[in-house]
């Protein structure tokens, strides 16, 4: 190619490749992958195997726009959104990893990695469209879950767009002042507005929602917190994942006593609310929920 042609190609066409920078395997089989993007920024993805499924946990931003006190990713300044191809290629890389290590493709995808997916909405939607097409990976939208910290306007937009994937909300408290303490950004997104958006979501899509909920000692571990969660769960059909807390460096949070977790579980069940107590996977390699932190942000 001539020099002038190469200049034109460089100006108008950009080929962005991701690269596997580092992998770590947990004692429980979970694999964390540090992925280098074309500009040397990094994101982390996680492959979580179980007896009947393999789940890819995918990142949508480099760093995060929000300031959740219990999450390691929030300590990384948000550098930028991932583009459509970076998200898609990330899924392909983890799918290949699953085939290599476990002899089967990924069965589920959760957008619960680094970043707030709904703040990268356009690229999120276009990447999911690519993932679900037969010429892509052909994964059913019902096997894809997008987790958000709770952005009412974008939840309503998703409902209007008639998205087919599942919705999870990182809730952690159904009492506004407590939620603001652990998730300071939520002062701008009150629970009342979140509840309205979820009602709208259910009305438009007929899809239930999953609430992700960590219980901490001396923060949300009493009867008032349990009652508030039960009431919030009555807004629309839902299920609750009670999540084991995964400590991060220099934080002030402690896992609640097991008796409190049991009290949450029994009270929710008594109110006919589906509840699961989720045990952490990949904790020994900092791959568990809330631990993704890119030990290296740049190479």
SS (H, E, C) the chain: CCHHHHHHHHHHCCCCCCEEEEEEECCCCCEEEEEECCCCEEEEEEEEECCCCEEEECCCEECECCCCCCCHHHHCECCEECCHHHHHHHHHHHHHHHHHHHCCCCCEEEECCCCCHHHHHHHHHHHHHHHHCCCCCCCCHHHEEEEECCCHHHHHHHHHCCCCCEEEEECCCCCHHHHHHHCHHHHHCCHHHHHHHHHHHHHHHCCCEEEEEECECCCCCCHHHHHHHHHHHCCCCEEEEEECCCCCCCCCCCECCHHHHHHHHHHHHHCCCEEEEECCCCHHHCCCCCCCCCCCCEC
Distance between first and last Cα of the chain: 31
At the fourth CATH level, which superfamily is domain 16-285?
Aldolase class I (3.20.20.70)
Burial (CB < 10 A; 0-12, 13-18, 19+), residue 267, is: middle
pTM given for the model: 0.86
Residue 198: predicted pLDDT = 99
Determine which one of 44, 86, 116, 212 is catalytic: 44
Determine which one of 68, 71, 233, 289 is catalytic: 289
Residue 286: predicted pLDDT = 52
For residues 40 and 75, what is the distance between their CA atoms, to the nearest angstrom?
19
Active site residue 44: yes
**Mean pLDDT value of segment 42-60:** 94
pLDDT tens by residue, 98-135 = 999 999 999 999 999 999 999 999 999 999 999 999 99
pLDDT grade for 252, boundaries at 50, 70 and 90: confident
pLDDT grade for 78, boundaries at 50, 70 and 90: confident
Active site residue 238: no
């Amino acid at each position: 190619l001539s020099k002038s042609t190469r200049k034109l190609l460089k100006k108008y066409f950009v080929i962005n490749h991701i690269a596997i920078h580092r992998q770590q395997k947990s004692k429980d089989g979970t694999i964390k992958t540090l992925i280098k993007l074309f500009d040397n920024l990094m994101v982390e993805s996680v492959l979580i195997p179980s007896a009947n499924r393999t789940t890819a946990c995918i990142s949508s931003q480099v760093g995060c726009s929000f300031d959740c006190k219990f999450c390691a990713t929030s300590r990384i300044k948000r550098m930028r959104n991932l583009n459509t191809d970076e998200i898609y290629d990330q899924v392909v890389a983890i799918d290949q990893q699953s085939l290599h290590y476990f002899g089967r493709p990924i069965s589920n995808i959760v957008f619960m990695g680094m970043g707030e997916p709904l703040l990268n909405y356009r690229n999120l939607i276009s990447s999911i469209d690519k993932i679900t097409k037969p010429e892509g990976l052909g994964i059913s939208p019902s096997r894809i879950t997008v987790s958000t910290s709770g952005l009412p306007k974008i939840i309503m937009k998703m409902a209007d767009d008639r998205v087919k994937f599942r919705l999870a909300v990182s809730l952690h408290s159904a009492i506004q002042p407590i939620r603001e303490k652990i998730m300071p950004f939520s002062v701008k997104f009150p629970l009342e507005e979140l509840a309205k958006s979820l009602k709208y979501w259910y009305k438009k899509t007929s899809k239930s929602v999953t609430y992700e909920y960590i219980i901490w000692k001396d923060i949300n571990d009493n009867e008032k917190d349990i009652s508030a969660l039960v009431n919030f769960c009555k807004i629309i059909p839902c299920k609750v994942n009670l999540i084991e807390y995964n400590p991060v460096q220099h934080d002030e949070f402690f896992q609640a006593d097991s008796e409190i977790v049991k009290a949450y579980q029994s009270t929710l069940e008594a109110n006919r609310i589906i509840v699961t107590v989720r045990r952490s996977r990949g904790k020994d390699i900092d791959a568990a929920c809330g631990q993704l932190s890119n030990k290296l942000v740049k190479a």
